[in-house]
């Protein structure tokens, strides 16, 4: 890291506290100490599908305890190696068993989507419009038009909440329109859920899109990650939730997925899964976890407002309202590549070229510095200027 840096390294993908330090959630620390100091500590292999107590609890967390698919035994989950592992297992299943070959991802989207699905065997990769660069909002009409043009049987990757990298999510009305088009065109939804509880601070609210699609009778997959919302980044705790129309297919699906995992990474890791399992199956620990998620969400929202307010107070050219319309850890700033390079070279503020800011890298000590730097970059390289 540049020794002259004056603000947190904004390319980081992880949550940071007000001092710019990694934050181990107190509930995670408590459970880990309990596990490692007890007599039941184990380093034995897990089975291919991982801890049943974890996958069951994670699936309920996503779909809700009263979900009709769960009650009818049409849904189940399998533990995976993080959220990326869940994406890959799901992609493998859709290619090898469902024989699907076309997938659509948002423009822009999380970079791993570009890799996971082609490597799993999807022959055709297409994009659907998502970010309206001029209006700095969701391009809902472009999105719907692209989905209407998608061939029947295409897989569509959807972010459940806190879309990465834009931080812009569809409203409930927009989700309903998306579901309408997908149902009409026989498109298969594959959700990516990495920020449940962090996006809004409410686990239930953040899961609404998946629950809505399930309530409409969609078959779907959802990759879940506990890296962000439990801070278990290095432990690779993930879950793949699968929802079908017919409960009779579940045994065959489970068998196929078991063999796929066996031929891939064989077993998911135990330690982080044990921590997540303990939290998700204890009401008192869940309550503590919810409070700590709220702490994360509130700090992120506060820093969004702080950055927007500073930019406006400084008279920075442009409209910066989109900063607070977005949610989650990341802000799609609207800065262009020239402006980003200027921030790196002149202010040692390190961003990806697309201008995504990790809001967690901001704090009361550096937000004014960052705002001043952005103002200078925008004045030096106005948006319509070219090299």
Residues that are catalytic: 110, 192, 228
- What span, in angstroms and rounded, lies between the C-alpha atoms of 94 and 187? 13
Containing 188, the helix (H) or strand (E) segment is: strand 188-193
- What span, in angstroms and rounded, lies between the C-alpha atoms of 379 and 361? 23
- Phi, psi for residue 119 in degrees, rounded to 5: -65, -25
Of the candidates 221, 200, 215, which has an alpha carbon nearest to the alpha carbon of residue 100? 221
Please tell me whether residue 75 adopts helix, strand or coil conformation. Answer: strand
C-alpha torsion angle, residues 217, 213, 145, 166 (rounded to 10): -160
Using the 8-state DSSP alphabet, how is residue 132 labeled?
E
Take residue 350 and report the two structure tokens written for it. 């390190």
Of the candidates 301, 379, 294, which has an alpha carbon nearest to the alpha carbon of residue 343? 379
Q: Are 197 and 227 in contact (CB under 8 A)?
A: no
Of the candidates 275, 361, 324, which has an alpha carbon nearest to the alpha carbon of residue 16? 361
Of the candidates 179, 176, 196, 156, which has an alpha carbon nearest to the alpha carbon of residue 327? 196
């Amino acid at each position: 890291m540049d020794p002259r840096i004056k603000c947190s390294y904004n390319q980081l993908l992880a949550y940071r506290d007000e001092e710019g330090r990694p934050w181990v959630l107190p509930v995670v620390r408590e459970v880990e100490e309990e596990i490692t100091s007890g007599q039941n500590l184990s380093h034995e292999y897990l089975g291919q599908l991982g801890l049943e107590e974890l996958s069951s609890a994670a699936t309920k967390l996503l779909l809700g305890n009263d979900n009709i698919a769960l009650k009818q035994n049409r849904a189940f989950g399998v533990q995976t190696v993080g959220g990326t592992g869940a994406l890959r297992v799901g992609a493998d299943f859709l290619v090898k068993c469902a024989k699907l070959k076309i997938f659509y991802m948002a423009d822009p989207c999380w970079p791993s989507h570009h890799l996971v699905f082609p490597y799993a065997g999807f022959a055709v990769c297409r994009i659907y419009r998502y970010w309206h660069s001029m209006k700095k909002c969701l391009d809902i009409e472009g999105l719907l038009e692209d989905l209407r043009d998608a061939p029947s049987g295409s897989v569509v990757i959807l972010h459940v909440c806190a879309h990465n990298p834009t931080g812009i999510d569809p409203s409930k009305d927009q989700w309903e329109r998306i579901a309408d088009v997908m149902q009409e065109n026989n498109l298969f939804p594959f959700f990516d859920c990495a920020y449940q509880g962090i996006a809004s601070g409410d686990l239930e609210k953040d899961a609404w899109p998946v629950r809505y699609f399930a309530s409409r009778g969609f078959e779907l997959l959802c990759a879940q990650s506990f890296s962000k919302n439990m801070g278990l980044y290095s432990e690779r705790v993930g879950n793949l939730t699968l929802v079908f129309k017919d409960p009779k297919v579940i045994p065959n699906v489970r068998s196929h997925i078991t063999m796929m995992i066996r031929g891939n990474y064989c077993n998911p890791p135990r330690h982080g899964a044990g921590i997540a399992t303990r939290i998700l199956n204890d009401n008192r620990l869940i309550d503590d976890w919810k409070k700590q998620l709220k702490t994360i969400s509130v700090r992120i929202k506060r820093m969004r407002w702080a950055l927007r307010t500073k930019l406006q107070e400084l008279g920075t050219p442009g409209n910066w309202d989109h900063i607070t319309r977005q949610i989650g850890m990341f802000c799609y700033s609207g800065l262009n590549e020239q402006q980003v390079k200027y921030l790196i070279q002149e202010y040692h503020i390190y961003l990806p070229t697309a201008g995504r800011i990790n809001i967690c890298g901001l704090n009361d000590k550096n937000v004014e510095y960052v705002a001043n730097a952005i103002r200078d970059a925008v004045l030096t390289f106005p948006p319509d200027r070219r090299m």
